[in-house]
Copies of this chain bind each other. A is one copy, B any other.
Amino acid sequence: MDELDAALVAELQADARLTNRDLAERVGVAPSTALERVRSLRARGVLRGYHADVDLPALGRSVQALIAVRIRPPARRRIEEFRDFATALPETVAVFVVSGGEDFLIHVAVADTDALYAFVIDRLTERPEVADVRTSIVYQHLRRPALEPLPARSVGATQPPASRHR
């Protein structure tokens, strides 16, 4: 993870459909170099995939919510089963397994508030391990365009090689 890797990652976070040539040009290396670097990043698991960002209302999901769920008893098996269950639901956008007052935060996107209510009372509270549910409507969901590697102390980061060549 030297500076070049970081630049490639940043560019691909901002636009994953950049052509390899454009990508190379933006970070200032030859296309062949960019190609090999990106491959390495993929192989090392730094780049995990590329996903389209979709407008949820256009998909008929105008209402988003974050649903905090408490599981009783919070044993590994219950947690993992519920996590898999929640992740597989078609209304689910993402699932956070968290510490604190609750065990899960489920990010859902549904057609309207009726569908949200139905989701909570039919899908969630129907399950016996669900001890508590708190629903928050999501008004806005903003993401950062690109995550830079932070100051990076120690971590598993490989040594940045000295700058080379021309």
Contacts and interface: CB of A to CB of B under 8 A. Distances in A.
Contact of A13 (B51, B62, B91, B105): B51
18 contacts: A47-B54, A50-B52, A50-B53, A54-B147, A59-B147, A60-B150, A61-B147, A90-B148, A92-B144, A93-B147, A94-B142, A96-B138, A97-B142, A99-B137, A100-B136, A102-B136, A110-B150, A115-B150
Given A51-B14, A134-B100, A94 B59 contact: no
A109 interface: yes
A161 interface: no
Interface of A: 1, 6, 9, 12-17, 44-62, 66, 83, 87, 90-102, 105, 109-111, 115, 134-144, 147-153, 155-157
A136 B51 CA distance: 27
Contacts of A58: 1, 44-46, 156
Contacts of A61: 147, 149-150
Nearest to A110: B150
Contacts of A1: 58-59
A53 B141 CA distance: 17
Contact of A97 (B6, B13, B99, B138): B138
